């Protein structure tokens, strides 16, 4: 009887500890912060390995500081805002991110898409992410001046207007200090080099940290 009672107590205590550990583990996974990056070739590390790109560098930066944040890179080279709209619902459902970084629009501009379409798509992307409970950072893009002053200025204004109307966070231009430096751009003059990736992260990181601090 004594042995049976001891075994019963041991099993009961083991089960209780096991259940507690499962509960704590489940809570940890439930509370894990995820950052979803929805971008084009700038964030998809065009011309290099994904590990060399700024998004991976962001993930490494956060991991090294034990921030408990997972970064999901859903960027595709050549992506447009229309493509982002088609993919975002499933990405939100699968990842349930706390933050979404939207880096889209450059390909729309390079193809001369109507500015009202760009504005509408960007706004829908932001609102979709916000409705899913995510904080949104919008990365504004720039296009070459050869498209004309009216289109170029209207393109730039689209990002500012969307941020203003949706109350999302507008980050600095990710290629600031890079796009105008030929040494930091690949031969096509559009995509940054491997050496430029830390600078891209430097341009985005303060905004990411500020939004995380507010969460």
- Verify that 54 and 9 share a domain, yes or no: no
pLDDT value, residue 67 = 81
Residues 21 and 58 occupy one common structural domain: no
pLDDT tens column, 51-87: 999 999 999 999 999 889 999 999 999 999 999 999 9
In this structure, the answer to whether residues 20 and 48 fall within a common structural domain is no
Residues 81 and 145 placed together within one structural domain of the fold: yes
How confident is the model at residue 31, as a pLDDT?
52
Q: What is the pLDDT of residue 160?
A: 98
- Shared domain for 82 and 161, answered yes or no, is yes
Contacting residues for 95 by C-beta, under 8 A, at least 6 apart: 34, 36, 72
Cα distance between residue 157 and residue 203, in whole Å: 19
First-to-last CA distance in the chain? 56
Q: Which residue has the tokens 């590390």?
A: 45
Domain identity same for 140 and 210: yes
- Can you read off the two tokens belonging to residue 170? 């507008």
* 5 and 102 inside one domain: no
Tens-of-pLDDT digits for all 215 residues of the chain? Answer: 433 443 344 434 443 333 333 333 333 333 579 999 999 999 999 999 999 999 999 999 999 998 899 999 999 999 999 999 999 999 999 999 999 999 999 999 999 999 999 999 999 999 999 999 999 999 999 998 888 999 999 999 999 999 999 999 999 999 999 999 999 999 999 999 999 999 999 999 999 999 999 87
Q: Give the domain CATH number at 121.
A: 3.40.50.1110
Please give the tally of structural domains in the chain: 2
DSSP assignment string, the chain: -HHHHHHHHHHHHHHHHHHHHHHHHHHHHHT-EEEEEEESTTTTTTTS-GGGSHHHHHHHHHHHTT--EEEEE---TT--HHHHHHHHHHHHHHH--SEEEEE--HHHHHTT--HHHHHHHHHHHHHHHHHTT-EEEE------GGG-HHHHHHHHHHHHHHHHHHT-EEPPPTTTTTTT-GGGB-TTSSSB-GGGHHHHHHHHHHHHHHHHHH-
In angstroms, the CA 103 to CA 84 distance is 10
188 and 160 housed in the same domain = yes
Residues designated as active site: 41, 188, 191
Same domain (yes/no): 93, 193: yes
Residue 2 lies in domain: 1-31
> Are 17 and 111 within one domain?
no
Tell whether 135 and 37 lie within a shared domain. yes
Say what the pLDDT of residue 125 is.
Answer: 98
Do 50 and 148 lie in one domain? The reply is: yes
Q: Rg of the Cα trace of the chain?
A: 22
């Amino acid at each position: 009887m004594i042995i049976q009672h001891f075994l019963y107590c041991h099993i009961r205590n083991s089960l209780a500890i096991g259940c507690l550990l499962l509960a704590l583990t489940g809570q940890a996974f439930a509370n894990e912060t995820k950052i979803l990056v929805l971008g084009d070739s700038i964030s998809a590390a065009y011309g290099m390995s994904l590990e060399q790109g700024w998004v991976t560098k962001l993930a490494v930066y956060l991991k090294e500081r034990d921030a408990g944040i997972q970064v999901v890179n859903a960027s595709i080279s050549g992506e447009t805002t229309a493509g982002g709209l088609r993919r975002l619902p499933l990405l939100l459902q699968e990842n349930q991110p706390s933050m979404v970084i939207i880096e889209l629009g450059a390909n729309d501009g390079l193809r001369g898409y109507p500015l009202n379409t760009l504005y509408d798509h960007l706004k829908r992307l932001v609102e979709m992410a916000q409705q899913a409970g995510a904080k949104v950072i919008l990365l504004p893009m720039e296009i070459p001046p050869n498209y004309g002053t009216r289109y170029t200025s209207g393109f730039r204004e689209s990002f500012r207007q969307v941020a203003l109307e949706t109350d999302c966070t507008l980050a600095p231009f990710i290629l600031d200090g890079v796009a105008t430096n030929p040494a930091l751009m690949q031969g096509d003059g559009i995509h940054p080099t491997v050496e430029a990736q830390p600078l891209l992260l430097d341009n985005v990181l303060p905004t990411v940290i500020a939004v995380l601090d507010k969460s």
